[in-house]
Amino acid sequence: MLKEFIPFIDKDRYFIIQLFEFLRSQQGKKHSLATIQEILQVSPYKTKTTINEVITLSKRFPRIKVTFEDEFLYAVNLDNALLNQIINLEAHNSLRFKIFLHTSLNIYNQSDSEFQKTIGISPSTYFRLKRAFTQELGLDKINCMHKSEVFARYYIYQVLVYFSFFDYFPTHLQNNKNFIKTKNSIAYGTLLWKLSPSESQRKQFNYFVFVSVLRSKNGHHVPETDDQYLVNFVQKEQILLFIKHLRKDWYMLDKNALLITRYCISFLINTNNLPTSQLDCLENFTDIEEVTNQQVNVIDELFGDSLDKNELIDLKNKLLKANTRFLNPFFKTDLFLTEQQWNYDNFLMNDSIQNFVTEFTNLLQHSQSSDYNMAELNQINKNYYLILLPKLIDHKLNLPFHIVVDFSEGSLLNDYIKGGLNNISGLNIKIDQRITNLTDIYLTDTFNPTFSKHQIIWDALPKQEDWRQLRSFILNLQKHRFSKLDLDDK
């Protein structure tokens, strides 16, 4: 699980999660008591207690098999979906998480003493847990949540989405009239702004609005001092209609309805959900379009005629949405709260690609007055990579891998192997009859000393593992080819 959400889990429950995560990464193997103790960094007694709790919990999920015999722990059939369910379950049962829900949303309208009685703890335990939780979460986050209602709502939203809290919400609360009104407002906004959310995006919408409704119910309203975190827009028809909806259905004053509408638009932009057709309602849209057009000119120069008109439009729309997010004041709020990190190890990269992305980032920075910090720059670079790499791969890298199949048994075996090669998906393989200067791989059962490139020797009928290794070998060749790619070569 992500480390920034660990403070919400009780210590003993986090040991259970740690052990399940270890078993997921090493399943099918037997692990000694000493190994488990080293992983958890606890006493032998606590290690055995955690193992017993893991075995008990695993019985709630029939697919998982966890056994502990002769001082060795063994697990199979544990996948990421089940692990995610276990993390959610342990979070929802954690006293720390329950205290966070009580202090931030107070869903059940309880006083502190009523809440303490409900979960079965004393006032001293309540304040001790609350103090420890606050310290682990960090004073910077706590202070910003007190300073800004926008910060507070968005952080609560992110925590609840991560632990899928409302997905397990009691039915009688889901049928509450305010929650029904909430869903009606989401449906109206979806039609108004022509949104087409997927299931995960619809979940984001629900959680975002649910948190806002619960915060307002408890007297925590978005103040005018939070203006600095929200986008500004020109009041076009959709904006005016949504403001009118908030006034009529939620009995908001004009100034409050305007603030909430700005907050909703900021959220849709930051989660990449606002369609490009709706972006021209923003006050700074001219600036966004200008930097996007500069980037599109760079793309046009790089690809020349190899990109057709539809591909260029698709790239421009993706860049428009990304740049709108980066030039949205809410972008910095999001990154501060989540401390998002990005691992580039799985990206196909080289210096030429890096320089290309850096040029895009520099164009973006020149379009605004304040500089981005390192975390923000990492997020910006990541998004540009995700937009550009598919096109770079399609147009600059998707050259065929030339393979010659030549087994001493002759055409019968050769045709069998060629059939297997044709079934390898996701790779542009071209099978040639004879070795040429283009040949990348010579696949055979006898070594050829005159061929200086890659030879793969199968001295027997290939097994499934041989095919996997061949596919992995071709992917590594692709990465190597990409590392040598020079974008200046037309």
Among the residue ranges 246-260, 334-348, 442-456, the one predicted with the least confidence is 334-348
pLDDT score at 276: 94
Check pLDDT > 70 for residue 490: no
Mean pLDDT of 118-128: 96
pLDDT score at 480: 77
Check pLDDT > 80 for residue 399: no
Check pLDDT > 80 for residue 344: no
Average pLDDT over the chain reads 88
Share of the chain above pLDDT 90, in %: 62
Each residue's pLDDT tens digit, 414-444: 999 999 998 887 778 899 999 998 899 999 9
Among the residue ranges 83-87, 129-133, 379-383, the one predicted with the least confidence is 379-383
pLDDT score at 336: 56
Residues 246 and 261: their CA atoms lie apart, in Å, by 8
Check pLDDT > 60 for residue 12: yes
Residues 278 and 394: their CA atoms lie apart, in Å, by 30
The pLDDT confidence band at residue 376, using thresholds 50, 70 and 90, is confident
Mean pLDDT of 479-489: 64
pLDDT score at 143: 87
pLDDT score at 396: 59
Check pLDDT > 80 for residue 83: yes
Residues 234 and 393: their CA atoms lie apart, in Å, by 39
pLDDT score at 484: 65
List, in sequence order, every residue forming a beta bridge with 68; answer none if it has no partner.
Answer: 73
pLDDT score at 311: 87
Beta-carbon neighbour count of residue 68 at 10 Å?
A: 18
Residues in the chain: 490
The pLDDT confidence band at residue 153, using thresholds 50, 70 and 90, is very high
The pLDDT confidence band at residue 298, using thresholds 50, 70 and 90, is confident
pLDDT score at 486: 57
Each residue's pLDDT tens digit, 221-277: 999 999 989 999 998 899 999 999 999 999 999 999 999 999 999 999 998 999 999
Check pLDDT > 90 for residue 333: no
> Pairing state of beta strands 441-444 and 454-457?
parallel
Residues 285 and 269: their CA atoms lie apart, in Å, by 12
Mean pLDDT of 200-208: 93
Mean pLDDT of 179-194: 92
**Prediction pTM value:** 0.81
pLDDT score at 407: 92
- 3-state SS of the chain? CCHHHHHHCCHHHHHHHHHHHHHHHCCCCEEEHHHHHHHHCCCHHHHHHHHHHHHHHHCCCCCCEEEEECCEEEEECCCHHHHHHHHHHHHHCCHHHHHHHHHHCCCCCCCHHHHHHHHCCCHHHHHHHHHHHHHHHCHHHHHHHHHCHHHHHHHHHHHHHHCCHHHHCCHHHHCCHHHHHHHHHHHHHHHHCCCCCCHHHHHHHHHHHHHHHHHHHCCCCCCHHHHHHCCCECCCHHHHHHHHHHHHHHCCCHHHHHHHHHHHHHHHHHCCCCCHHHHHHECCHHHHHHHHHHHHHHHHHHHHHHCCHHHHHHHHHHHHHHHHHHCCCHHHHHHHHHCCCCCCCCCCCCHHHHHHHHHHHHHHHHCCCCCCCHHHHHHHHHHHHHHHHHHHHHHHHCCCEEEEEECCCCHHHHHHHHHHHHCCCCCCEEEECCCCCCCCEEEECCCCCCCCCEEEECCCCCCHHHHHHHHHHHHHHHHHHHHCCCCCCC
Residues 31 and 340: their CA atoms lie apart, in Å, by 33
Share of the chain above pLDDT 70, in %: 91
pLDDT score at 308: 82
Task: Pick the closest to residue 340 from 352, 354, 325, 358 (CA basis).
Answer: 325
pLDDT score at 335: 56
Check pLDDT > 60 for residue 63: yes
Residues 278 and 129: their CA atoms lie apart, in Å, by 46
Check pLDDT > 80 for residue 70: yes
Residue with tokens 């920034």: 4
Residues 119 and 122: their CA atoms lie apart, in Å, by 9
pLDDT score at 352: 66
Check pLDDT > 80 for residue 88: yes
